[in-house]
Amino acid sequence: MKLSSPEAYLDSLKDLERDVFVLGERCSCTVEHPMIRPSANAVSESYDIGEEPEAEDLLFTTSHLTGRKISRFTHIHQGTEDLVDKVLMQRMLGRRTATCFQRCVGMDGFNALYSVTYECDQAHGTGYHGRLKDYLEWVQDENVVVEGAMTDVKGDRSLRPGEQPDPDVFVHIVERVPGGIVVRGAKAHQTGALNSHEILVMPTTAMREGEEDFAVSFAIPADSKGITFVLGRQPSDTRKMEGGPLDVGNPGYGSQEALVIFEDVFVPEERVFMCGEVDQSGKVVERFASFHRQSYGGCKVGVGDVIIGAAQLAAEYQGAARASHVRDKITEMIHLNETLFCCGIACSSRGHEMPAGNWDVDALLANICKLNVTRFPFEIARLLQDIAGGLVVTMPSEKDFANPETAAYLEKYLKGVEGVPTLDRMKIMKFIENMTVGCGAAAYLTESIHGAGSPQAQRIMISRLADIGEKVALAKKIAGIE
């Protein structure tokens, strides 16, 4: 593996020459920007063995393509054990960072395309599967970060891609040229885009006849000519630029999203994995969605572990840890968090082999997992704020603690139980603020709603996959109805 350490990964980002805009200004080096660096730190944890005894086996595995040791984030699942280990790895990294570590979308995209390209070749005589395997082998050997790009900006939601007044609101082919294609459009909410070496583009919905130009999938270096990145805002994000770590809440780690714009970008033929096969486009969307909905049973649970710890710590610091209602609330937080984990493990354990030889999750249970994720983290966050109290959003700033005129007052009046430094109490309160209303809430709460599809998307799939007819037949049989 070429990139084999956090330091090597962070250094590699400095070599990317991209058009990046942050707060209306060009950014020449994202990894050194204070608003972006914490998110790069989170990705770098995927290169670090760390202190957990199980970390090496979870972070790394053996490539079925080469037999060499690779990052699990570049792996194609070869059985239910791989699917389970993926969830365990995601929980571990969530526990380390308390945020999104940004490599899951690319991993889930690879695994969706692996089976679809194989089936597309069988149906249409194309050569996409071999191209994808060649690309994967390179990704595995280099251990680069690949951002999965699925969500188009969509324009008028009442119109199909082919009906839009401006076709650029969906990424599409504008020209087929010798040796490749030229594409235009934009992908929104792109998690980890500024921390990725490569971009893996997939269609955002099932295309129909007449929408062949929109049925496109490809991989492209992030610093390719014609790509522009605009960083999205998060609550309290400029606190990272103020110098002190206290007000940030989680100073070491974070997440980020960007609008990624493709303006007549050339994609070489060997990097094209779908080019007009409308009958295959919906498969990519559904299989990717299942893999990514499985992912949330790991990453959000790991973050939940940290949040539960913060709730217990806040209660201890203010002398409320023994109150029965506090113990009940923390127990409920654990119950909700472990229920999400159960769903992630269940859909993995009931996975099945695909014709291409890779393994897919149980799609129904994966959608159940994600629908629960749209609810439970919000209740966990509500209970966290309930336990912590109103000080979460009324605390003075770090500068007030540093000002001799106010510091003594704050030490005196914001102190909790004896023996706990006032500043330690403030640190956990600022962390709770970050996770429930600040930058951390973007990765934990908003992403829980919209990442891997909105709640309605899961409801549609659950209704489609649940086989109501079979359940009706069971009821009729037992009730004695002919």
For 314, counting Cβ atoms within 10 Å of its Cβ (0-12 exposed, 13-18 middle, 19+ buried), the class is: buried
Question: And the tokens for 237?
Answer: 């994000």
Is 286 annotated as catalytic? no
Residue type for 339, please? T
For 241, counting Cβ atoms within 10 Å of its Cβ (0-12 exposed, 13-18 middle, 19+ buried), the class is: exposed
> Which is the catalytic residue, given 27, 104, 343, 369?
104
Is 374 annotated as catalytic? no
Q: Are 226 and 177 in contact (CB under 8 A)?
A: no
Torsion angle, alpha carbons of 449, 311, 431, 389, to 10: 100
Question: And the tokens for 120?
Answer: 């597309």
The residue among 339, 337, 283 whose CA lies nearest residue 309 is 337
DSSP 8-state code for residue 233: P
Torsion angle, alpha carbons of 437, 298, 188, 269, to 10: 160
> Which is the catalytic residue, given 99, 191, 205, 374?
191
Rounded to whole angstroms, the Cα distance separating 448 from 16 reads 30
- Give, for 424, the enclosing helix (H) or strand (E): helix 422-436
> Which is the catalytic residue, given 27, 275, 299, 369?
299
Q: Are 3 and 44 in contact (CB under 8 A)?
A: no
> Which is the catalytic residue, given 27, 30, 75, 100?
100
Rounded to whole angstroms, the Cα distance separating 341 from 312 reads 20
Is 64 annotated as catalytic? no
The residue among 446, 403, 41, 444 whose CA lies nearest residue 251 is 41
**In 244-258, which positions are buried (b, 16+ CB within 10 angstroms) versus exposed (e)?**
eebbbbbbebbbbbb
What are φ and ψ of residue 430, in 5° steps?
-65, -35
> Which is the catalytic residue, given 296, 347, 369, 444?
296
> Which is the catalytic residue, given 257, 277, 286, 398?
257
Is 54 annotated as catalytic? no
Give the other-Cβ count within 10 Å of 263's Cβ: 14
Q: Are 182 and 174 in contact (CB under 8 A)?
A: yes
Is 299 annotated as catalytic? yes
Is 172 annotated as catalytic? no
Rounded to whole angstroms, the Cα distance separating 50 from 56 reads 8
What are φ and ψ of residue 21, in 5° steps?
-120, 130
Is 347 annotated as catalytic? no
- Give, for 43, the enclosing helix (H) or strand (E): helix 37-44
> Which is the catalytic residue, given 292, 343, 347, 369?
292
Terminal C-alpha separation, the chain: 63
Is 296 annotated as catalytic? yes
Q: What angle do CA 337, 343, 347 make, to 5 degrees?
A: 155
Give counts: helices (H), strands (E), the chain: 17, 14
List active site positions: 100, 104, 191, 257, 292, 296, 299, 447
